[in-house]
Amino acid sequence: MTRAATGIYRGTSAEQRRDERRQRLMDAALDIIGTQGWAATTVRGVCEQAKVGPRFFYESFADLDALAAAVHDEIIETAVRSSLDALAAAPDDIAAKTRAAVTAILNSVVEDPRRARIAFAEAHGSEILMRRRAAAMRTIADVVAEQERALLNPPAGSETLVRAVSLMITGGAAELVLAWLDGSMDISRDELINLCVEFVLTFADNLTTMAARMTS
């Protein structure tokens, strides 16, 4: 059979080649957005770095916004998976699980400065990244709320408080990481992790008290 009939070329299928081109585009976008910023990112620049023709760009992505969203989502999905794996492996103790989850999610993002920049800093210069960042914060807050329910057994009628606390933990930690990344928090990564852990545990320690005050 001919190449056109089978789609096989040099041992790879058309689908495999398409997936490989898509990954090269994402890798190039990660590098450009993560080092030069969203404002410097163009379809042409991404294609040149990825060594992919412009016509193949639109085979995988509708536009540059779609590519940026895919890169951002991959960063967050990887971080959340790391956190969930760490939670599952940690002892059934809130302090141990909190430290494991915080360490995993922060290390996943900040280990590579490019990933950290896209996840935390570049959102302020891009509408699509701002929307994806907001969605990511909700996803992470959902994980926090689930752990609150599982580990703290909050009193009946406190679901609104549980949700509010999860959002405050997630948003507060994100702003703390952003301050660390831009240098306004002059601390080590270990100190950053310790602060985030204590932040979470302080909320956890006071959840029942807050619930009692709100229902009294």
Query: According to the model, what pLDDT value does residue 60 have?
Result: 94
| CB-based contact 177:102 (threshold 8 Å) | no
* pLDDT, one tens digit for every residue, the chain (216 residues): 444 444 565 567 888 889 999 999 999 999 999 999 999 999 999 999 999 999 999 999 999 999 999 999 999 999 999 999 999 999 989 999 999 999 999 999 999 999 999 998 888 788 999 999 999 999 999 999 999 998 888 888 889 999 999 999 999 999 999 999 999 999 999 999 999 999 999 998 888 888 888 876
**Is 113 found in the same domain as 75?**
yes
CATH classification of the domain holding 125: 1.10.357
Instruction: Please give the structure tokens belonging to residue 116.
Output: 């950290």
Indicate whether 22 and 95 sit together in one domain. no
Residues 190, 159 share a domain: yes
Number of structural domains in the chain: 2
The confidence score (pLDDT) of residue 2 equals: 45
CATH of the domain at 39: 1.10.10.60
In a domain, 23, yes or no: yes
Question: Please, which residues bridge with residue 9 across strands?
Answer: 12
Could you tell me if 39 and 117 lie in one domain?
no
Q: Domain range spanning residue 38?
A: 12-61
The reply to whether 4 falls in a domain is: no
210: three-class secondary structure by DSSP: helix
Same domain, 120 and 172: yes
Q: DSSP 3-state helix, strand, coil percentages of the chain (rounded to 5)?
A: 80, 0, 15
pLDDT at position 125, please? 80
Tell whether 7 is covered by a domain: no
* Dist. CA 139–CA 146, nearest whole Å: 11
Cα–Cα distance measured from residue 50 to residue 190, given in angstroms and rounded to the nearest whole number: 35
Q: For the whole model, what pTM was predicted?
A: 0.87
Residues sharing a CB contact under 8 Å with residue 205, sequence separation 6 or more, in sequence order: none
Residues 112 and 170 in one domain: yes
Query: Are 101 and 34 within one domain?
Result: no
* Whether residues 97 and 38 fall in one domain: no
Residues 54 and 95 in one domain: no
